Amino acid sequence: MKAPSPMDFPTFLQRIPKVDLHCHLVGTLRQQTLAELALRYGLALPRPAHALYDFADFYDFLDVLRLAASSLRSGDDFARVTYEALEDGHRLGNLRHAELLFNPQYFYPHGVTYRTMIDGMREGLAAARSDFDVSALLVPSFDRMIDARGAMQILDDILAYRPDEVIGIGLDGAERSGPPARFADVYDRAGRAGLKRTAHVCEDNQTLEEAPPRHYAICRDILGCDRLDHGYNLLADPAMAARARDEGLFFNTCTVTSVTRNLERRRASIVQMVALGLNVTVNTDDPVMFKTDIADCYQRLFADQPQWGVAQARLFSVNGVAASWLGQNEKASLLESFKLELASLENELAGTVL
Ligand SMILES: [Zn+2]
């Protein structure tokens, strides 16, 4: 009988248990699902379903993003795409827990109530949990295009209906269109109400003037953020990066960006953040729209870093659990199960199958 072939390192990366803490629901829509939903609501597709995510440029990407946001209207729509997002993560990269960001402001204009969104997503989460043993939490987020008053109105809705799955708030979109300080009152109220807080900050598709390192201090000192998304531009200010390291804050970085020319720089920044001792997790951002998945995000990041090896893979895997907003008990039991699975896969990789 032929001995089983040894596992290669990319396969090891694909199989290890993972968490995705920076994943936008609208970026997870399968092309076919988006095409079907758009058809149902009489929305025109810019091109055939199989090529929907072949973006011509950044503006084309934004158009498709808008189309995706207009195509989610009923609770069933939200349930379906939430379920599919978790199914894809489970199937492609052994995703075990996700925290999904979504922007209520994208859906209100089409008559969708906040409760419809939440109940639909909860239905999808429950079905995925029972079918794939993947857990997930929800993070309603504000696109910075909104003003402080609009954000406060959304927070009214968030605070008026708070099932356990809604764990915190986020802030995304271009930093130049809404500096973090604008949302001080919204974040303060959310924090006092017991919601966790994150924000996209120091994102590298924007200049150092648009997304400067000092935004880190604002997110911490004024917004009271518990963790942050991205963070690459922080590297331009060694003192601020040292502060972030000393504070031990987690950065939910993403290997892939829509701006192709920045892909290499993005990966280099994540590598540098790790080298500086920052706490880093690996995430997908907009996986299907960016033609990636959680396993691919690990594989691409490790491709040029032979020195990282198993130890760094293990660290990213358990960092995802540590940075999650799960309750203490759930976190401890997920960590335990990650450690067992990692040990078994490490044995298999080393060719010492027990
Ligand atoms: Zn993002």
CA pair distance 197, 250, nearest whole angstrom: 12
- Please report the pLDDT score of residue 205 as a whole number: 86
Question: Ligand 1 centre from 98 Cα, in Å?
Answer: 14
- Percent residues over pLDDT 70 in the chain: 98
Q: 347 CA distance to ligand 1 centroid (A)?
A: 35
Cα 191 to ligand 1 centroid, rounded to whole Å: 21
Cα(38)–Cα(35) distance, integer angstroms: 5
pLDDT at 41 over 70: yes
Measure 83 CA to ligand 1 centroid, in angstroms. 20
Nearest-CA neighbor of 69 among 162, 141, 177, 125?
141
- The fold adopted by the segment(s) 9-349 is TIM Barrel (3.20.20)
Distance 232 CA to ligand 1 centre (A): 13
Q: Domain coordinates of the chain in residue numbers?
A: 9-349
CA 173 – ligand 1 centroid, Å: 8
Distance 24 CA to ligand 1 centre (A): 6
The HSE-up count of residue 90 (CA atoms within 13 Å, CB side) is 18
> Is residue 198 scored above 80 in pLDDT?
yes
Residue labelled with tokens 């189309």: 67
188 has a pLDDT exceeding 60? yes
Question: What was the pLDDT predicted at 6?
Answer: 76
Annotate 286-309 with b (16+ C-beta within 10 A) or e (fewer). Answer: bbbbbebbbbbbbbbbbeeeeebe
CA of 107 to the centre of ligand 1 (A): 18
Going from the Cα of 23 to the center of ligand 1, the distance in angstroms, rounded, reads 7
Centroid of ligand 1 to alpha carbon of 346 (angstroms): 31
pLDDT of residue 5: 62
Distance between CA 140 and CA 151 in Å, rounded?
Answer: 11
Distance of CA 268 to the CA centre of its chain: 19
Ligand 1 centroid vs 1 CA: distance in angstroms? 49
Backbone angles phi, psi at 218, to 5 degrees: -65, -40
What is the rounded CA–CA span in Å between residue 318 and residue 295? Answer: 15
What is the average per-residue pLDDT within 245-270? 94
Strand order in the sheet with 228-230: 200-201, 228-230, 250-254, 279-283
Span from the CA of 4 to the centroid of ligand 1 (angstroms)? 40
254 Cα–ligand 1 center, Å: 8
Do the Cβ atoms of 142 and 103 come closer than 8 Å? Answer: yes
| Confidence band for 353, pLDDT divided at 50, 70 and 90 | low
What pLDDT shows up at residue 175?
A: 85
User: 199 pLDDT exceeds 70?
Assistant: yes
Q: How far is CA 238 from the centre of its chain?
A: 26
- Strands 135-143 and 168-172 come out as parallel
CA of 199 to the centre of ligand 1 (A): 9
**Distance from the alpha carbon of residue 311 to the mean position of ligand 1, in angstroms:** 27
Crossing angle of helices 75-93 and 31-40, rounded to 10° = 170
State in Å: Cα 22 to ligand 1 middle. 6
Cα 285 to middle of ligand 1, angstroms: 5
Q: How far is the CA of 40 from the centre of ligand 1 (A)?
A: 28
Q: Say if residues 14 and 94 touch (Cβ distance below 8 Å).
A: yes
Lowest mean pLDDT among 69-83, 157-171, 202-216: 202-216
Report the percent of the chain where pLDDT is more than 90.
88
| Residue 102 near residue 24 (C-beta atoms within 8 A) | yes
H or E element, residue 274: helix 263-275
State the average pLDDT for the chain.
95
pLDDT at 261: 87
Cα of 198 from ligand 1 centre, angstroms? 11
Residues 257, 62: Cα–Cα separation, whole Å: 13
Residue with the two structure tokens 């590297």:
235
Supply the pTM of this predicted model: 0.96
What's the gap in Å between 330 CA and the centre of ligand 1? 25
Dihedral sign computed on CA atoms, order 210, 214, 217, 222: negative
Closest CA to 35 of 50, 25, 23, 24: 50
Secondary structure letter of residue 214 according to DSSP: H
In this structure, what DSSP letter does residue 223 have? Answer: S
Centroid of ligand 1 to alpha carbon of 5 (angstroms): 38
Residue type, 342: L
Tell me the CA–centroid distance for residue 229 and ligand 1, in Å.
7
- Say how many Å lie between the CA of residue 133 and the centre of ligand 1: 25
Closest to 201 (Cα-Cα) out of 141, 117, 290, 115 = 141
Distance 225 CA to ligand 1 centre (A): 16
Q: How far is the CA of 170 from the centre of ligand 1 (A)?
A: 10
Q: Could you tell me if 180 and 224 are in contact, meaning their C-beta atoms sit under 8 angstroms apart?
A: no
- Residue 2 banded pLDDT, cuts 50, 70, 90: low
